[in-house]
Chain A
Amino acid sequence: MKALLKATIYQPLFNLLIFLVWLMPGNNLGLAIVALTIIIRLLFLPTMIKQGISQEKLKVLQPLIKDIQARHKEDKTAQSKAMIDLYKKAGTSPWGACLPLIVQLIVLGLLYRVFQIGLSTDRFDLLYNFVPHPSAVNVHFLGIDLSKPELWILPITAGLLQFVQTKLSIATGGKGKKKVNADDPMSMAMNQMVYIFPVVTVVIARGLPAALSVYWIITSLFMIGQQLYINLKIRPKIREQFADSEIDLIGKFDDKKENQKKTKDNKKNTTHGVSVSIRKRGEK
């Protein structure tokens, strides 16, 4: 199993990284990591944007989802069916997937491993024949040795950027702003996560080779750009179409839940306004 993972995941990524090192001026590892991060993010870009757009739409459904989860707490099968039903009626569904998460974890693991085995040329036996062998790897980037933990600049930058990114992605902005409900300990706890995660990031990043912080920083920067695009370009359109109908929408869905066993035509009528407005957006 270990050998299989090494041959299928670790080795290709290692080869890609070394190839990028070879490509970069002065065989600079820092630049290679930046390039590797950007390549990975670009691969996920279409799915991330899709996911961001559907998230925007789905925010409106949150009360209904909570309701479904509460009602079918014991029966996951019924819960799943009710959720699918809801997504169908809303005309959109989440686009999150496990595999990209796992790939990202593996990349982190890889970068860590690369420094464990060292970047000395004696591990180049792992390289494929067609990959050019750089004569040496320059691990210094902006005056920082990437192979060793760096305690201040990079980890704190990574934490700050992560904070900005999280803030941006939960900020509802404008009209539909929802205040944190102080009576709801769950939503309070979650709101604190916005502050806790960046701190955790800083603490972890301080203990790992600085290369990982670079990876983290570039990832956050990329995600911030992505989120800004969604917040500034996509969100207004969605808000526009939900502005008048938000409360109605929830009312309509509730109606539907109660009348679930009625005819399909009936259902269509009750969601008419909603599904139309969502489709309009989809066309753009």
Chain B
Amino acid sequence: MLKKIIIAGIIGYQKTLSPDHGLVRVLFPGGYCRFQPSCSDYSILAIKKHGLLVGSAKSLGRIIRCNPWNPGGLDLP
């Protein structure tokens, strides 16, 4: 149940604020994210695959990895 709420929250973020999925993606026609999937997609996949606790921890790790000094690339949970 909590899992569903969290995932709905992430999807809500994707529809609005997200630079890769949301309203401002007009600014980034070639995509925004250096990682594939994007952090939000990654989080959804991770929570579905590993459960809320481990999935969230993995998501947090991904967000920290998603910095200007990381070359990015394919990174699945």
Contact = CB atoms under 8 A, between A and B. Distances in A.
Interface of A: 44, 46-47, 54-55, 57-62, 65, 76-77, 79-81, 83-84, 87, 93-102, 166, 169-170, 187, 189-191, 193-194, 197
Interface string B20-59: 1001111111111110110101001100000000000000
B29 to A, nearest CB: 4
A193 B23 CA distance: 7
A96 B20 contact: yes
A59 B30 contact: yes
Contacts of B41: 76, 80
B27 A166 contact: yes
Contacts of A57: 30
A75 to B, nearest CB: 11
A44 B68 CA distance: 8
A96 B36 contact: no
A95 B71 CA distance: 8
Given A79-B37, A81-B74, A100 B28 contact: no
B68 A98 contact: no
Given A76-B37, A97-B70, A190 B31 contact: no
Contacts of A58: 28-31
Given A76-B45, A83-B31, A94-B32, A100 B68 contact: yes
A208 to B, nearest CB: 18
Contact of B33 (A94, A99, A102, A193): A94
Contact of A96 (B28, B29, B44, B73): B28
A47 B67 CA distance: 10
Contacts of B12: none
A146 B33 CA distance: 35
A193 B44 CA distance: 27
B10 interface: no
Nearest to B25: A190
Nearest to B48: A76
Contacts of A189: 23
Contact of A93 (B29, B67, B72): B72
Given A47-B68, A76-B41, A99-B66, A65 B74 contact: no
Nearest to A68: B31
Nearest to B20: A96
A76 B37 CA distance: 7
Contacts of A84: 36, 73-74
B31 A65 contact: yes
Contact of A94 (B23, B31, B67, B70): B31
A190 B23 contact: yes
A80 B70 contact: no
B64 interface: yes
Contacts of A194: 26
17 contacts: A62-B29, A65-B30, A65-B31, A76-B45, A77-B45, A79-B37, A80-B76, A84-B74, A93-B72, A95-B34, A96-B28, A96-B31, A96-B32, A97-B34, A97-B68, A193-B26, A194-B26
Contacts of A61: 30
B66 A97 contact: yes
Nearest to A191: B26
Given A58-B28, A98-B67, 8 more contacts: A65-B29, A76-B37, A80-B41, A81-B36, A93-B34, A97-B70, A170-B27, A189-B23
